[in-house]
A and B are shown apart, each in its own frame.
Chain A
Amino acid sequence: MTTITTETPIIAVVPGRPFGLVRHSLVMARRSLIKTMRTPEQLLDVTLQPIIFIVLFVYLLGGAIAGSRHDYLQFLLPALLVQNVLFASAPTGVSLNTDIKTGVFDRFRSLPIGRSAPLIGGVLGDMIRFVVAIVVMLGFGYALGFRFGTNPLAVVAACLLVMFLAFSFSWMFVLLGMLVREPGAVQGLGFVIMFPLTFGTNVLVPTNTLPGWLQAWVKVNPVADAMQAARGLMVGGPVLDAVVKTLLWSVGILAVFAPLAVRAYRRKT
């Protein structure tokens, strides 16, 4: 063909309003929230599951481990909170994996919005799940006799810290969701990652009762730091070191996985 395709604008493009990425991400987050509210059964893993965990561990192990169920609840609940909020971050990867296969994601790709907006929106919208998990666990824990040993500000700080770590974790699962073909596989891999991270800690028993190799793992496991920080901020005890480590890990995980996830999404067609 000898046709020369010249590039001369013949249709005027009206530029978009500023702060597009922020606005578009929030619009997408709202979409995700509406969808969650329409299918509340999606919230079972952040409502029923944490309650089962609390009941299971407190009544099954509490007597044997701590001698007193109340003491064990005080020890267990902040760490269990960290675990369950982190669990709640995995389904974001599953739902985005399903979502991007539907035609509506084609439409999003054909719109003049940032490539990361649908992902950021999905992650932000799913943060409602963290909030639900926290409210359910603190409420149920309170009913069983759990009492804060610090001030409300410290408790709020603990909740925000846990949510920030879970937000960073979400990006790991978003990346998985982009790389893996089947939603089921994302879920399976999610368990494989989450179990050593959340149970390989002092969630159930003090670190000094663990064998040496496991103690070594607990020392480098960011989730163990987060649990330590949550215990300190909710019940009392040293917090600074654990909080700083948790924040650094969260920023690090976010800085690595969020760009990788966006890149993987761009490559998917």
Chain B
Amino acid sequence: MSFAFQATGLVKRFGRTTALAGVDLAAEPGTVLGVLGPNGAGKTTAVRILATLLRPDAGTAVVGGYDVVKHPAAVRRISGLTGQFASVDEDLTGTENLVLIGQLLDLRRGEAKSRAAGLLADFDLTEAADRPVKTYSGGMRRRLDLAASLVGRPAIVYLDEPTTGLDPAKREDVWNMVRAQVREGTTVLLTTQYLEEADALADKISVIDHGKVIAHGTPAQLKHIVGGQTISVRPADPAHLDAVSVILAGTTKGQVESRGRGVLSVPVDDAKVLGTVIRQLEQAGIDVIELSLHLPSLDEVFFTLTRGTEKKQEVAA
């Protein structure tokens, strides 16, 4: 199987700190690899190695078939990077920023200008095109930053925490832009602290903690690591909670738990139990306003995998 990028056994130390202790990361062409982990887990270090900004102390990284240490120029030509901090020039306008990058990527001035105009339109920045970036809002900067990494139509894009500090609506915008890129065949490496983000975008997820990959798989596979599915029921009348509890305990073998006010949950081995639960609730005449069968959230997965060694990351509201 050929990977768009593949890192094997990456080790990187900074003085006494081991940022990466043997990390393997890989993504097939046209897919999104989510790299999930808390602050300081080594996500950014791994991205910087793949983007040729850092040399690994051990291990290899191959991007588009080119070794990042032996052929950095080739890697730079086929990949684009959006760093954790907006990597655009505050004093220049949106257009000037993109034209500058276009020219550094060997586009002729005319080509660079039309590419810039196209990207600014795609990212809804046309109106702000001729304003210095320092007048931009956080969301606009992020969008320009993302646009900047796409000027050279890279086959591989690294997005290092692209939505950190954005409000949920803006985050959704960025997600849609990432999806649009992937539809065009781009391979994306996305680092994030937001489990929700990895779940929304990634085909595969590698969970990193303390410089090691502690789990790898599809979002669904990772969720199965923690356990099976759960049925949650919220009766319309809280007075029915006891009755619901009896029904859930009778139809499933699991331990019924109260999750928050007025909601009861129980783990199930077999999704078919849901039908039985619904019928029994009907027969008992209990109206419900919420009834669901779901896999555990990545939040729970992550918490289980890191075994609480790190404080649970705050997932932004």
Is residue B66 contacting chain A, with contact meaning CB distance below 8 A?
A: yes
Contacts of A7 in B (CB 8 A): 62, 65-67, 70
How many residues on chain B are close to A (CB under 8 Å)?
50
Is residue B226 contacting chain A, with contact meaning CB distance below 8 A?
A: no
Contacts of A9 in B (CB 8 A): 64-66, 74
Is residue B220 contacting chain A, with contact meaning CB distance below 8 A?
A: no
Return the CB mask of B27-66 against A: 1 if under 8 Å, else 0. Answer: 0010000000000000000001001111000001110111
Is residue A209 contacting chain B, with contact meaning CB distance below 8 A?
A: no
> Given A8-B65, A104-B88, A108-B104, do A1 and B24 touch, yes or no (CB 8 Å)?
yes
Task: Kindly name the residue among B4, B6, B62 whose own CB sees the greatest number of chain A CB atoms within 10 A.
Answer: B62
Q: Are A104 and B103 in touch, CB under 8 angstroms?
A: no
Is residue B247 contacting chain A, with contact meaning CB distance below 8 A?
A: no
Q: Are B91 and A103 in touch, CB under 8 angstroms?
A: no
From B61, which residue of chain A is reached at the shortest CB distance?
A: A5
Q: Are B87 and A107 in touch, CB under 8 angstroms?
A: yes
Q: Are A111 and B67 in touch, CB under 8 angstroms?
A: no
In Å, the complex CA distance between A23 and B106 comes to 9
> Given A13-B74, A112-B73, A112-B77, do A38 and B91 touch, yes or no (CB 8 Å)?
yes
Task: Kindly name the residue among A105, A109, A269 whose own CB sees the greatest number of chain B CB atoms within 10 A.
Answer: A109
Is residue B76 contacting chain A, with contact meaning CB distance below 8 A?
A: yes
Chain A nearest CB from B134 CB (Å) reads: 10
Of residues 81 to 140 in A, which have CB atoms within 8 Å of B's CB atoms?
102-113, 117
- Interface-located stretch among A27-35, A68-76, A222-230, A248-256: A27-35
Q: Are A27 and B60 in touch, CB under 8 angstroms?
A: no
Return the CB mask of A154-165 against B: 1 if under 8 Å, else 0. Answer: 000000000000
Is residue A208 contacting chain B, with contact meaning CB distance below 8 A?
A: no
In Å, the complex CA distance between A24 and B22 comes to 36
- Interface-located stretch among B78-86, B231-239, B281-289: B78-86
Of residues 202 to 226 in A, which have CB atoms within 8 Å of B's CB atoms?
none
Q: Are A3 and B106 in touch, CB under 8 angstroms?
A: no
Q: Are B54 and A31 in touch, CB under 8 angstroms?
A: no
Is residue B105 contacting chain A, with contact meaning CB distance below 8 A?
A: yes
Contacts of B70 in A (CB 8 A): 7
B interface residues, Cβ below 8 angstroms from A: 2, 4, 6, 8-9, 22, 24, 29, 48, 51-54, 60-62, 64-67, 70, 73-74, 76-81, 83, 85-92, 96, 100-101, 103-106, 132, 148-149, 155-156
